[in-house]
């Protein structure tokens, strides 16, 4: 039997396990009708990197392996601390995007309530900060940013609903030839002179999710880069599942993400039974 914990960060939900599983097993586990149900599987493994407390591997619901997951790493930090495996104020977790420092904040229950993660330097992945792309009968202006994983951000003016746009155009951009490894796609609206951003994310390998931590970071970085939001001050990024606080360093050297992590339940699953259907 496979023991697991079900976590979520603002509704972006994960199955957290202490062993490696295959892509096929991840798709079975993430199935919301016949499995446990989740956006992805987080594997918490021994750390091969010097100075790291643990290693996190991620498999999306479609079995693909992304480089990083902002909501996921907060859940892993909480699991490590609350389980007693790593009792540190700052937990260092090795990912495909590098070793990231996660500062845990403990609530009145003695368990982790919020986690602030140093997400590293945002990096432009195309020649220009703003590039037009005609797609799906519409021209989008994209800012392409890597937070260890790829993001294509477009800022939407007016009051046009973001989710229908993301559902229609997100998969087209994800699979566009500009992005041979596919990309996450962000549809954002800046409010309150850059102090707040409304955001809906089409996640590579998942589709629409309630929240995306790396997407919020990439979007805040893009907003700062294009003069829509200030650097050095926490920006409130509002996703369908709730709010993340994102701070882009004044010199652009890093992004800090602050947000909650929640345990939903623990359980056991018979993978062989799932595979048999």
Active site residues: 69, 212
Alpha helix (H) residue ranges in the chain: 23-30, 70-82, 162-174, 213-225, 271-276
Cα separations in angstroms, 274 against 1, 30, 43, 234: 11, 11, 19, 44
The string of DSSP letters for 105-160 reads EE-TTSSEEEEEEE----EE-SSSSSEEEEETTEEEEEEEEESSSEEEEEE--TT-
Task: Phi first, then psi: give them for residue 243, nearest 5 degrees.
Answer: -110, 140
Distance of CA 227 to the CA centre of its chain: 24
Contacts with 29 (C-beta within 8 Å, 6 or more apart), sequence order: 2, 4, 15, 21, 35, 36, 38, 41, 269, 271, 274
Is residue 162 within 8 Å of 139, Cβ to Cβ?
no
Task: Count CB atoms within 10 A of the CB of residue 231.
Answer: 17
Q: What CA–CA distance (Å, rounded) separates 260 from 242?
A: 10
């Amino acid at each position: 039997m496979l023991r697991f914990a079900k976590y979520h960060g603002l509704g972006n939900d994960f199955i957290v396990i202490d062993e490696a599983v295959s892509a096929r097993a991840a798709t079975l586990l993430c199935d919301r009708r016949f499995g446990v149900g989740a956006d992805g599987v987080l594997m918490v493994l021994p750390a091969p990197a010097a100075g790291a407390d643990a290693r996190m591997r991620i498999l999306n619901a479609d079995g693909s392996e992304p480089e990083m997951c902002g909501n996921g790493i907060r859940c892993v930090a909480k699991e490590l601390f609350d389980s007693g495996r790593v009792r540190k104020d700052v937990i260092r977790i090795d990912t495909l995007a590098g070793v990231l420092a996660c500062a845990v904040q403990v609530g009145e229950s003695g368990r982790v309530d919020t986690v602030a993660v140093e997400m590293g330097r945002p990096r432009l992945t195309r020649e220009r900060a703003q590039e037009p792309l005609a797609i799906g009968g519409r021209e989008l202006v994209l800012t392409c940013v890597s937070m260890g994983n790829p993001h294509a951000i477009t800022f939407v003016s007016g009051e046009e609903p973001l989710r229908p746009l993301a559902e229609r155009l997100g998969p087209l951009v994800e699979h566009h030839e500009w992005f041979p490894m596919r990309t996450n796609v962000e549809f954002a609206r800046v409010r309150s002179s850059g102090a707040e951003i409304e955001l809906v994310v089409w996640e590579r390998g998942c589709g629409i999710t309630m929240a995306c931590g790396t997407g919020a970071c990439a979007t805040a970085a893009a907003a700062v880069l294009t003069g829509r939001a200030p650097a050095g001050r926490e920006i409130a990024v509002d996703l369908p599942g709730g709010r993340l606080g994102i701070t882009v360093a004044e010199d652009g050297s890093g992004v800090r993400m602050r947000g909650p992590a929640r345990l939903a339940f623990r359980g056991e699953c018979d993978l062989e039974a799932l595979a048999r259907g």
